[in-house]
Amino acid sequence: SSTMSIDPIVSLYVKSMMPHGSDVAFVAGIVAATPGLGTLLAASKIGHKMDEIGPLRVLRAGLVIGFILFAPMALTNNPWMLAFLRFLLGIASAGMLPAAQTVLTLNTPKESFGRIFSYNQSFQAVGAVLGSLMGSAISGFS
């Protein structure tokens, strides 16, 4: 998952933004937690919106918003701005997973549910692993 790509290096990234800061671990914890908070606060509202406008529109919007947020996250020098942008990424993510699963449910024949949802879970796990590994690898080249 792309939101996990920074997790292995979030404390180093925050420390680079706060070279003389004394609360680096605390701020890094907040930065790491904000996507979850954004998802928690937005999931219900986005779910209701998905019922109104359809899962494909919510999925597309979440992907576009998530894509747009990555550039300012990479360019910011302020840990609080990074936390805010990751909070917004959490809001965008709140719609993507349920929308993707809804699209799968609507477009998968009953006899294939188990197999398709197993693939879905497997690829989510692969994304979580590769996102974290890529974040670590990129930090090693910096």
Spatial separation of the C-alpha atoms in residues 81 and 22, rounded to whole Å = 18
HEC profile of 95-120: HHHHHHHHHHHHHCCHHHHHHHHHHH
What is the mean pLDDT of the segment spanning 62-68? 92
Tokens of 138: 């990129």
3-state secondary structure of 48: helix
| 8 Å CB contact between 36 and 91 | no
Q: Model confidence at 5, in pLDDT bands (50, 70, 90)?
A: low
Q: How confident is the model at residue 13 (pLDDT cuts 50, 70, 90)?
A: confident
CA distance 100 to 97: 5
Q: 123 pLDDT band (50/70/90 cuts)?
A: confident
Which residue has better confidence, 128 or 42? 42
Pick the more confident residue, 57 or 97.
57
Q: What pLDDT was estimated at residue 137? A: 77
Name the residue type at position 25. A
Angle, vertex CA 66, rays to CA 68 and CA 120, nearest 5:
145
Q: What is the mean pLDDT of the chain?
A: 87
Sign of CA dihedral 88, 91, 93, 95: negative
| Average pLDDT of the residues in 32-38 | 92
For the whole model, what pTM was predicted?
Answer: 0.82
